[in-house]
Chains A and B, each alone.
Chain A
Amino acid sequence: MRKQLVWILVVVFLLGIGGGVSAQRKQVSVLWAEYDGLTPDYASNLEAAFEKEYSDIDLNIISTPWDKMHDRLIAFVAGKQPPDLSVIGTRWLLELIDMGVVEPIEQWISKDLFNNIDPALMEGKIKGVLYGLPVAAGTRLMYYRSDIIDKVPETFEEMLQVAQKINKPDEKFYAVGMSGKKYVELTEYAYYLFGNGGYFFEILPDGSYGKCTVNDEAGVGALTFMNDLVNTYKVTQPGVTAYRRDELQDLFIAGNLGIFLSGGFTATLLEQRGATFEWSVAPMPHFEGKPQSTIIITDSIVMFKDSQAKEEAGKFLDFFYSDPWRLEFDKLVGFPPVTKSLANDPAFQKPVYQVMIQQIPGAKGWPLMPEWPECNDIIWDNIVATFLGEKTPQKAMDDAAQEIDSIRGM
């Protein structure tokens, strides 16, 4: 028995030694998200090319399924072993700032890179300090069946009229797709809320967030409309609470939906899977008398305070944001470019990119606050309660706003 233990200890020891020896070059670790469409080759090629140019730096790209990014990042950070850089959903940034683990990034990157990034996409700038560079950014838009719908609805009211005409549940063709399954993001509600001139919180004069406003006229109006689509007019697919966005997307690509609100990635998938019908894109609808608006979702790359190789990490950012690598990245992932130098590249002149870019001025992002994940869940649960007929829209949003305010100590 003792022999085995000794054996194990020897192995442990040797591995410890092994870890020590290889640490001669400066190490830079990057927690890297596996976007759909991004092949594993991309990361390994990037790593090899970078190390070829900077032979004194050992780059370690930690490739992670997107679904598991947050879990892994939390384990690394709470385990006191943060990477040097990490791709994040920008909405996580505030919790990282709250933890005090992220480093202002501007001083570590070159001026050229900083100037090359579209300022409208710098969501990672908090109170004037830039913490994250945008990795991917996109506004959400409307996909519709151009072979069935001849007049593109500009408002949600028009969308409802069109929907009632084209809805054919007997033939498994549903006019509007609606997702209601528990999911990390609240995008579906954001489309209707923003299109009704509303927002999740009141914005105070100093730019901070005040009370939760989902129970105001815009918020309740948006939910009432969604609920009517589902339960009164029944123009959505049945069982909305069983659908996540990706499941809804499958339904649209299979030709069972007339209108589907989503992001740029759907266009890529429609082409990849060879959809057999005609489709087109249009700006996100809004309610009558309200300005057009939609949600913009960005992912960022941040640097950690504890990094021992900030300068080297900055070099990696400069390298990654150079045109050839960014162009390939944007093309594979299917987002419009975040760098100005690629804005006029022929690859991004398709309608889907045009609509996404055109919507940017009126678009709003997620609230950037550390409590957002919890608020997100509270609103979502109450929306689902409305769909299931357990609460009226007014009651649901009142409950949500009250609970959120009490959590935030308002």
Chain B
Amino acid sequence: MTKGKFWRTESTVAYLFMIPASVFLLMFMFYPIVYVILMSFFRVNKLGDLVSFFGWGNFRFMFDKPEFWQVVVRSCVWTAIAVAVKTAFGLVIALLLNVEFVGKRLARTLLIIPWASSVPISAMIWQWTYNSDFGLLNHTLRSLGVWRNPPIWLAEPRSAFMANLWVDIWCGIPFMALVFLAGLQAIPQELYEAAEVDGATPWSKFRFVTLPLLSGVLTVATLLSTLWTFNDFNVIYVLTAGGPGTSTDILITYIYKYAFQYLRFGPAAAMAVITFGILLIVSIVYARSYFREGAL
């Protein structure tokens, strides 16, 4: 009965708690988001002002470009590979750093270094590392004999894409690892001990104890990482600016080019809305499982 008293005003309290964050976000994001959506359906001048209603004109303008569809597909491939690798790497590192060993704290601290410098600067550093004359990557590969004839990374479409992809992954790994590590810390040790009593192998402990209990954090981290990776502008912009040709352009770099370089705000807004659509579908599919599992 006492319990009823505690939770009676539950939803009032809940709304009260949600209000500051919601109002804050609305205050800053309502206008920008609505304006982007409006722009996508209007003719827009070079100052970004709405001129006249255009229906699906901006969308059709993009759909008629053959590169546009390549860019959309590439964005999806880019995101899928990057998020998968980041998650896998992050999980392995989190599991490693969850084991007790001497030097663990040092390893954890070193781990965050890739995350601790800002993405544009990290991309600059990688650009320097990839440089085929003065950069240390190819030099090291050659002198260690790992790869006698490494490519000039940013010269060819395929290797440039890989090079961009790796930098994005590199920037994202520490974050993933850290989030997973915190998740692992929250799993009560007793569960592992119980499993061991039942004679569980390390694999089955991972499969039946770790993974299920980590699934909440895993879902949130991969979902958000998907959104960020899809919209990761800085890496590509600094390393190749979408080149050679348009072979490393993804939607967000395309949007940037149309908005800030060509001042075609209409088509840029249309692409932003398409991005929004893609990400919304992904999120709904994704978050469904999250909400279903959880006690939300």
CA distance A23 to B261 in the complex (A): 33
Q: Which residue of A lies closest to B153 (CB)?
A: A242
Nearest Cβ in chain B — how far from A105, in angstroms? 20
- Per DSSP, chain B at the interface is loop
* B155 in contact with A242 (CB, 8 Å): yes
Kindly supply a per-residue 1/0 record for chain B positions 238-254, scoring 1 wherever the CB is within 8 Å of any chain A CB and 0 otherwise.
Answer: 00111111100000000
B134 A373 Cβ-Cβ under 8 A? no
Are the CB atoms of A377 and B257 closer together than 8 Å? yes
B261-273 to A contact mask, C-beta < 8 Å, 1/0: 1111100000000
In the bound complex, what is the Cα–Cα distance between A385 and B67 (angstroms)? 14
Q: Which residues of B contact A77 (CB under 8 A)?
A: 47
Judge whether B134 and A240 touch: CB under 8 Å: no
Contact present for B263 and A74 (CB under 8 Å): yes
User: Within 8 Å of chain B (Cβ to Cβ): is A381?
Assistant: yes
Q: Is the CB of A78 within 8 A of B48?
A: yes
Judge whether A180 is part of the interface by a CB distance below 8 angstroms: yes
Residues of B within 8 A of A371 (CB): 262
B155 touches A241 (CB 8 A): yes
Chain A residues with CB below 8 A from B98, complex form: none
Interface residues contributed by chain B, number (CB under 8 Å) = 33
Chain B residues whose CB sits within 8 angstroms of the CB of A370 once the complex forms: 46
The CA-CA distance from A180 to B265 in the complex, in Å, is 28
In the assembled complex, which residues on chain B have CB atoms less than 8 Å from the CB atom of A242? 132, 152-155, 160
User: Is the CB–CB distance between A254 and B261 below 8 Å?
Assistant: no
A30-51 to B contact mask, C-beta < 8 Å, 1/0: 0000000000000000000000
Which chain B residues lie closer than 8 Å to A4 at the CB level? 20
Decide if B245 touches A238 in the complex (CB within 8 Å): no
Chain A interface size, as a band, is: 35 or more
B131 near A74 with CB under 8 A, answer: no
Query: Is the CB of A5 closer than 8 A to any CB of chain B?
Result: yes
Q: With CB as the reference atom, state the residue of chain B lying closest to A382.
A: B245
Contact call A381/B245, Cβ cutoff below 8 A = yes
Whether the pair A74, B243 counts as a contact (CB closer than 8 A) is no
Contact of B152 among A238, A254, A387 (CB under 8 A): A238
- A374 neighbours in B (Cβ, 8 Å): 261-262, 264
Give Cα A111 to B47, complex, Å: 33
Can you list 8 contacts pairing A with B, beta carbon distance less than 8 Å? A1-B20, A95-B46, A180-B244, A182-B243, A183-B241, A184-B261, A241-B155, A254-B134
4 nearest A-B pairs in the assembled complex, by CB-CB distance: A182-B243, A239-B152, A239-B155, A242-B155
Question: Knowing that A181-B154, A241-B156, A387-B244 are A-B contacts, what are 18 other residue pairs whose CB atoms are under 8 Å apart, sorted by A's residue number?
Answer: A1-B16, A1-B17, A4-B20, A5-B20, A172-B133, A181-B240, A181-B241, A181-B244, A182-B240, A182-B243, A182-B244, A238-B132, A238-B152, A242-B153, A247-B131, A373-B261, A374-B262, A377-B257
